[in-house]
């Protein structure tokens, strides 16, 4: 799979976690963050990484 496809998978997983936010675990968000950081390749992707970090901080 391409880096872009893997990044999009991280975005989709984040959306799924947030939709089911009652059961969202910080560990799941950490997995999304790791994937997003690994495959981010531009400013928009870095903005998403920052969003995930904020979500983790809120869930803390």
Q: What pLDDT does 28 receive?
A: 92
Contacts of 51 (CB under 8 A, 6+ apart): 14
In the chain, where the domains are located: 3-59
Q: What pLDDT does 11 receive?
A: 97
Buried b (16+ CB within 10 A) or exposed e, 6-18: ebeebbebbeebe
Q: How far is CA 15 from the centre of its chain?
A: 8
* pTM of the full structure: 0.88
Q: What pLDDT does 24 receive?
A: 62
Percentage of residues in the chain having pLDDT higher than 90: 77
Q: Is the pLDDT of residue 2 over 80?
A: yes
Q: What pLDDT does 59 receive?
A: 82
Q: What is the mean pLDDT of residues 10-35?
A: 87
Q: What pLDDT does 43 receive?
A: 96
């Amino acid at each position: 799979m391409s880096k872009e496809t893997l990044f999009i998978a991280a975005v989709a997983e984040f959306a799924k976690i947030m939709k089911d936010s009652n059961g969202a675990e910080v560990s799941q968000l950490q997995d999304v963050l790791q994937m997003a950081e690994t495959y981010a390749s531009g400013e928009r992707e870095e903005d998403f990484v920052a969003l995930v970090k904020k979500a983790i901080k809120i869930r803390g």
